[in-house]
Amino acid sequence: MTDRVKMICIGAVIVAVATVVFAVDPQRANVFPVCPFHRMTGLWCPGCGATRAFHQLLHGNMLAALRYNSLAIVMLPLAGYLIVHGDVSTMKPVWIWVLLVVVVAFGVLRNIPVYPFTLLAP
């Protein structure tokens, strides 16, 4: 498969997923899967609230999107860059470790029941 065909396929999947997330409000419809980590532990994982955040972002509500999952919204440019310019294997190991530390730290901090960390919970 050529790079052009791969990019077209990835683009089509992104557009299809974005269309569904735009059309279906995760707050009102039970179409999207529930986080198994949150269901089992009651804690917020780093991805909890991302679908609601993307729904709000697609509707132009940037502040609401950041409120649901600020990490997912802030990481969108990085995800876009990796999709266009290569995959994770092209990243230097130090950046992969930094990304891992940021994601884990976000997951830990959003579960601390003290202000201002409570602002990180969806």
pTM of the complete model: 0.84
Calculate ∠ Cα 42-26-20, nearest 5°.
135
DSSP state of 48: T
Residues written for the chain: 122
DSSP, collapsed to helix, strand or coil, labels residue 71 as helix
Give the pLDDT confidence score for residue 39 in this predicted structure: 94
Domain ranges of the chain: 3-120
Confirm if 47 and 35 have CB atoms less than 8 A apart.
Answer: yes
| pLDDT at residue 107 tops 70 | yes
pLDDT digits over 17-37, tens only? 999 999 999 988 888 888 999
